Amino acid sequence: MRLIIQNHNVYKVTRFVKIYGVFRTLSKIIGRLRPKFKFWLILKFPFYSSKGRRVGIVGCGHHAFSSIAYYLSTSTNCKIVFAMDTDKKASLSLAYAYNAVDMGDSYNIEKISNINPDIVYISSNHASHTKYAIEFLNLGCDVFIEKPIVINNEQLKALSDVIKNTNQNIYVGYNRPHSPSIKIIKDRFIDNGSPFTLSCFVSGHLIPEDHWYRNPSEGTRIVSNLGHWLDLSVHILLWSSKFVEYIDIKVSYSNISTPSDNIAVSMVSSNNDLINITFTSRGEPFEGVSEMINFNKDDLIVQIDDHRVTKVWDDLFYKKYNHRPKNNGHKLTVLQPFGSVKNREWEEIELSSKLMLHIEKMVTSQETNSRFNL
C-alpha cells in the first residue's frame, strides 16, 4: 500500500511538472508540506529587491503560498512584509519561506501601520474577506480580495459603500476573465446584438463533510466555487452593448441533501443568451479543478480544454492554441496591482456578486426557478 501511495505521488509530481513547470510545482509541494525552507532565496536570487511595493498577506493557506506569494516573488520586485493567519503554523511557514514578518493570528493594527504595507492580499476564510478588505482600505492600503468577495448582501453593501468613498484601489481574485482562452474569445467577439451560448462543465474538489467550506457561515459551494463561472458569465454578458434587463435561472439538484455539490445552473438572458454551468464533485480530480468550456456566437465556435488547449472555428478560420504551462489566468490576476491587466470596473464585480448571491439564496431555499433583474 505504501509503495502504491509513493508511486501515485511520484506520478502526480511528474504530471504537475509537465502542466505547471518545475518551480511552480516545487512551490505547490512546499506549500503542502511547509518544511522550514527559505523559498524566496531560490525565487529571488539573483534578482531580489526590497525597493518595490510593500505587500502584506492575510490568510496563508496553500493558494496564498503557491500562487499569490509565488507569483509576487517571481514576477515583481515587491517585498512581502508580513503574513497573518489564524493558523499560526501557516503564517510562520509562509513568513519564513518568503522572508516576511510573521504576524501569527494577531490582528494588530498599530503593528501593521508601522510595517506600512502598500497593498494587502486577502486570502483568509471566506466570511472574513469583506471585514479585512474594509479595514485595510480604511487604513489607506490598496486591497486584493480572493474569491468570494462577499458571502451575503450585507457584506456587499458595506464593501461597496467603502469603495465608493475611498481613493484606494481594489482588485479581485476571479481569474477566468484573465485567461488567454477567454481573451481569444473576446478578440473574435463581434458586438452585433446576436445572442451567444456558453457551456461550462466543471469537475471540482471532493470535500469531506467536516470541511470548513461546508460551514453555513462561510457560504455554500455556489459562493466558494461556482462563483468563478458565474463571474465569467457576467463578464461575457457585458461585452455586448445591448442592455440585459433580466436573467431567467433554472437550478437542477442531483442530491438535495448536498445541493451545491452536484448541480446544474441554466440561465437565459433577456437577449436570448444561453448559459449552462454544471458543477460536479463526485471524485477528486487528479490534477485539481478541471473544466471544459464551449462558446458559440454566430459562426464563432470555441472549445476550451482545461485552459491547456483552445480550439477556434470562425467561418473558414481554424486554429488550435496550446497553453503551456496551464493558464487559467491565475498569474495575471495576482499581478493586477502591478499592471498585468486592466483592472475590472467595480460595477461589474458588484453585479457578478449580486448574481452569485441570488443563486446562492435559491440553493439554500431549494428553489428551482427564479428571475434575476438587472
Show the cell assigned to 116: 506600512
pLDDT of 242: 93
For 55-110, what is each residue's pLDDT tens digit? Answer: 999 999 999 999 999 999 889 989 999 999 999 999 999 999 888 999 988 777 78
Kindly give, in sequence order, each residue whose CB lies less than 8 Å from that of residue 302, ignoring residues fewer than 6 positions away: 181, 184, 185, 188, 293, 294, 295, 296, 310, 311, 312, 313
Task: Label each residue of the chain as H, E or C.
Answer: CHHHHHHHHHHHHHHHHHHHCHHHHHHHHHHHHCCCCCHHHHHHCCCCCCCCCEEEEECCCHHHHHHHHHHHHHHCCCEEEEEECCCHHHHHHHHHHCCCEEEECCCCHHHHHHHCCCEEEECCCHHHHHHHHHHHHHCCCEEEECCCCCCCHHHHHHHHHHHCCCCCCEEECCCHHHCHHHHHHHHHCCCCCCCCEEEEEEECCCCCCCCHHHCHHHCCHHHHHHHHHHHHHHHHHCCCCCCCCEEEEEEEECCCCCCCCCEEEEEEECCCCEEEEEEECCCCCCCCCEEEEEEEECCEEEEEECCCEEEEEECCEEEEEECCCCCCCHHHHHCHHHCCCCCCCHHHHHHHHHHHHHHHHHHHCCCCEEEEEC
Domains assigned to the chain: 10-124 (3.40.50), 176-373 (3.30.360.10)
Mean pLDDT rounded to a whole number for the chain: 91
Rounded Cα distance, 286 and 330, in Å: 19
Q: Which residues pair with 279 in a beta bridge?
A: 202, 263
What is the layout of strands, in order, in the sheet containing 246-253? 317-322, 309-314, 300-305, 290-297, 197-203, 274-280, 263-269, 246-253, 369-373
pLDDT of 7: 57
pLDDT of 44: 58
- Binned at pLDDT 50, 70 and 90, residue 2 comes out as very low
Please name the amino acid found at residue 210: D
Q: Which of 23-27, 43-47, 66-70, 272-276 has the lowest mean pLDDT?
A: 43-47
pLDDT of 213: 83
pLDDT of 48: 42
Q: Check pLDDT > 60 for residue 46.
A: no
- Binned at pLDDT 50, 70 and 90, residue 47 comes out as very low
For 324-350, what is the mean pLDDT? Answer: 94
Rounded Cα distance, 37 and 54, in Å: 22
Q: Check pLDDT > 80 for residue 38.
A: no
Q: Check pLDDT > 50 for residue 136.
A: yes
For 344-374, what is each residue's pLDDT tens digit? Answer: 999 999 999 999 999 999 999 999 999 999 9
pLDDT of 8: 64
For 196-223, what is the mean pLDDT? Answer: 90
pLDDT of 49: 47
Q: Which of 82-96, 106-120, 188-202 has the lowest mean pLDDT?
A: 106-120
Q: Does residue 327 contact residue 24 with C-beta atoms inside 8 Å?
A: no
Q: Give percent above pLDDT 70 in the chain.
A: 94
Q: Check pLDDT > 70 for residue 186.
A: yes
pLDDT of 304: 98
Rounded Cα distance, 57 and 144, in Å: 9
For 279-287, what is the mean pLDDT? Answer: 89
For 128-151, what is the mean pLDDT? Answer: 96
For 139-158, what is the mean pLDDT? Answer: 96
24 or 101: which carries more pLDDT confidence?
101
Peptide bond into 35 cis (omega under 30): no
